[in-house]
Chain A
């Protein structure tokens, strides 16, 4: 089973990398970009027996730092 874990910064947490990307886009002449937030995509290939609870546990214990990040689990196939 393929699983994608989307890790994003929580609202209200300043994102220096997103801001730098935003700045670079403007430098390239792209107009109309209002905000940029950079996150992380982690793709897992797991046995079908792995439970939803176990996936959430992986996110809480390692893949995301819940002080600053949210996570979303997406099952691809």
Chain B
């Protein structure tokens, strides 16, 4: 009898009907309350979304050398992201295959092996079972004992521009196919670095909110909420501008100006479920002649004027299902329960960019994000308000129809819409529905 581990968590199919949860028509796009509140939906998501597609687990700069590791989650599954002797990356389920104890208790570090604290089973950096304590000792294992190969290893691991993704699904399409148009926006973010590389060095912000994970996936590309949820922040901008460290990130010094600026740009909803938005800078010349002229002229030389306008512009991404990129940060949302989510914000640095630029961006993160920032706490407060509101289950639907009549399908098969429309959110739900329907 073979006892090798299954790569897909197996559970009975729940009674979730995605057709009844997402209502689509020519002028209609509505999502049912239960999609955010029902424990059966949550369980189905863990099986059919998080166990089926690519999930972001970390960045290569967090584990630069062999033996470096960090912990992460693929849905509810705790994993170790480990750098092997040849520099290759392994994603291993953090559970001893003997009697189930976790083998790694630290969020990051460097180790030659992982040793289970319960009975001393030892696993290599690649998860292979390197030793069973007292294997042949008194009362030991017989010659018929079929030792497991090691920690359950996710069959697919890939990285794109340093972003590491893993999947429980051996048949998952390539990471490039999964990212689609999002890869171009990732390129724009990463190519802000003169070396074409980002580095995660600063400590992350970690915030937990009492709301469903999909509120964060939707909101990071929601162009509609800013002047309402962050009305207070816009008032701070009127008064303080860049003086307290915004570093020119949030443009506009009045509500009218902010609305005008935010009405520019494009948003996309990708077939893979990603929501994207981007806005090029109007004119590159002021940057070339400005304080960081050398830096911007270097970017211009490497990438040409057309791309530089996008590279120097702003962009936000909700990469299905758990990764966000916005500002100069990687954001990961982790579902804990239908009404509980953890969000981690990893500020990153641009390799070889002037210190003043990297430090300026960090101060800007500090001002807006984190549990004491002037922006992010308001977003997560709204997510909790949403979840609270949905207890009123007598109302069936949430409405996601903004800009529905103003979007078109582009040459990649993605929907393109206006910046404050709900094109990105609809793309999320389309993919979500498809995955849940696959059963």
Q: Do A and B come from one complex?
A: no
